[in-house]
């Protein structure tokens, strides 16, 4: 490539020849200059950003750095917010586990330092000679998620155990296990006997507790009164439904103290001993029936007589 230069005050023309080598060399020099200027500007913007007062230069040099820094800070803040949310959930789960654990410990009566849920367990050990490595954000997030899953699993298991224990405590009060009268013996047991009226062998579906007239009759367990009236054979009789098709029967009473549909508690007075109905003397005829089939009361009562 030839370039001809002509001056106004000169009659001679100058000729400049550009070869490919000259063009490549010029472009290389120009690129080096551009890169050098860019590095210088970047250094100035980082080193003297707080000293630049000119708005125009500050907009050119500082603003891009600030925007990049703000984006990084926003990304970190978002990650911190996510971690804080997970941490809050885990704290709530721990409070729930503490409450469940303390309730279970109280229910079982266990008093052990291993069950002090509010105390932080001790930890320790010798300093390892191996090089320690800092956790990355990804590893920390993974460990946090694993711990959260473990807490969920433990909470579900403790909740199920708590339900079983509470069910056991409730069953204790709805199972007819308390003696209906304060006596230690009975005049007739459960099973076959000689009927006092006919003199023949007959099946006795309950037990007869001998007691004086007016002695308190107590509910063997909590439940709902499903019968409270006079029966042609049992005399004044009360029946209590304890749930699960389990019913207790109290017969020959002189007085009834509860009405149909009334809710009674274990040990509550429901009547008084008498000799009404088919009876030879003051006593309480007591039955336990499951699905209307007679059961041996001695299997239920705390003090079988």
The residue range of the domain holding 17 is 2-61
In a domain, 155, yes or no: no
Q: Report if pTM > 0.75.
A: no
pLDDT at residue 21 in the model: 75
Between 106 and 272, residue with greater pLDDT: 272
Q: Which of 26-30, 107-111, 150-154, 281-285 has the lowest mean pLDDT?
A: 107-111
Single residue among 61, 76, 92 that ends a domain in this structure? 61
pLDDT at residue 56 in the model: 53
What average pLDDT does this structure show over 9-13?
Answer: 61
In a domain, 179, yes or no: no
Residue 211 has φ and ψ, to the nearest 5°, of -155, 160
In a domain, 241, yes or no: yes
In a domain, 82, yes or no: no
Which of the four pLDDT bands, split at 50, 70 and 90, describes residue 113? very low
Task: State both tokens at 195.
Answer: 């009927």
Between 131 and 9, residue with greater pLDDT: 9
Domain tally, the chain: 2
In a domain, 259, yes or no: yes
In a domain, 171, yes or no: no
Please say whether the beta carbons of 188 and 279 come within 8 A.
Answer: no
pLDDT at residue 40 greater than cutoff 70: yes
In a domain, 231, yes or no: yes
User: 144-185, pLDDT tens digit by residue?
Assistant: 777 777 777 767 666 665 665 665 555 566 788 889 998 877
What average pLDDT does this structure show over 216-238?
Answer: 93
CATH of the domain at 225: 2.70.70.10
pLDDT at residue 147 in the model: 76
pLDDT at residue 117 in the model: 53
User: 269-305, pLDDT tens digit by residue?
Assistant: 999 999 999 998 999 999 999 889 999 888 888 754 4
């Amino acid at each position: 490539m030839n370039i001809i230069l002509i001056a106004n005050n000169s009659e001679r023309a100058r000729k400049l020849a550009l070869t490919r080598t000259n063009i490549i060399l010029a472009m290389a020099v120009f690129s080096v200059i551009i890169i050098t200027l860019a590095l210088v500007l970047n250094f100035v913007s980082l080193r003297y950003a707080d000293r630049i007062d000119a708005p125009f230069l500050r907009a050119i040099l500082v603003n891009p750095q600030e925007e990049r820094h703000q984006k990084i800070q926003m990304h970190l803040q978002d990650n911190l917010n996510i971690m804080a949310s997970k941490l809050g959930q885990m704290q709530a789960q721990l409070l729930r586990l503490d409450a469940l654990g303390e309730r279970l410990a109280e229910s079982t009566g266990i008093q052990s330092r291993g069950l002090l849920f509010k105390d932080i367990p001790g930890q320790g050990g010798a300093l390892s000679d191996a090089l320690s490595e800092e956790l990355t954000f990804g590893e920390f997030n993974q460990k946090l998620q694993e711990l959260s899953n473990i807490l969920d699993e433990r909470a579900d298991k403790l909740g199920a155990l708590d339900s079983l224990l509470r069910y056991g405590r409730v069953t204790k009060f709805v199972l007819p296990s308390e003696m209906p009268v304060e006596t230690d013996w009975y005049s007739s047991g459960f099973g076959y006997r000689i009927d006092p009226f006919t003199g023949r062998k007959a099946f006795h579906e309950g037990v007869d507790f001998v007691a004086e007239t007016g002695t308190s009759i107590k509910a063997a367990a909590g439940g709902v009164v499903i019968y409270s009236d006079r029966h042609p054979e049992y005399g004044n009789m009360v029946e209590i439904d304890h749930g699960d098709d389990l019913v207790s029967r109290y017969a020959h009473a002189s007085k009834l103290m509860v009405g149909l549909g009334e809710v009674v508690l274990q040990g509550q007075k429901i009547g008084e001993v008498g000799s009404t109905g088919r009876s030879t003397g003051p006593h309480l005829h007591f039955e336990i029936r499951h699905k209307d089939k007679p059961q041996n009361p001695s299997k239920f009562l705390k003090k079988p007589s």
